[in-house]
């Protein structure tokens, strides 16, 4: 994995970003008003980081904000 590799996707109005830098993946979730969540960890892979980002977005919208729209299990990741 090259340094500074990253991907972006939409989860409804949330923008999900995963980025590999300095030997670890960072997950960032942005809402319409700015930063909502940032999470650094030693994820085993890009896929694991993307799944964590989706899970955090689901928790934020559906559990914390009680959004009734269907859960999205898959989002379209694109190179950032």
Radius of gyration of the chain (CA): 12
**Beta carbons of 7 and 79 less than 8 angstroms apart:** yes
pLDDT (tens digit per residue) in 18-76: 999 888 899 999 999 998 899 887 888 899 999 999 999 999 999 999 999 999 989 99
User: For the chain, how many structural domains are there in total?
Assistant: 1
Report yes or no on whether pTM surpasses 0.95. Answer: no
Q: Is residue 54 part of a domain?
A: yes
Q: Is residue 77 part of a domain?
A: no
- Residue 48 domain boundaries: 5-68
Give the Cα separation of 74 and 58 in Å (integer): 11
Q: Is residue 75 part of a domain?
A: no
Q: What are phi and psi of 51, to 5 degrees?
A: -65, -40
Q: How far is CA 14 from CA 9, 22, 37, 58, 60, in A?
A: 8, 25, 10, 10, 10
């Amino acid at each position: 994995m090259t340094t500074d590799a990253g991907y972006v996707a939409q989860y409804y109005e949330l923008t999900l970003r995963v980025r590999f830098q300095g030997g670890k993946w960072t997950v960032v979730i942005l809402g319409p008003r700015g930063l909502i969540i940032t999470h650094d960890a030693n994820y085993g892979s890009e896929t694991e980081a993307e799944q964590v980002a989706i899970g955090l977005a689901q928790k934020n919208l559906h559990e914390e904000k009680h959004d009734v729209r269907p859960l999205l299990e898959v989002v379209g990741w694109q190179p950032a």
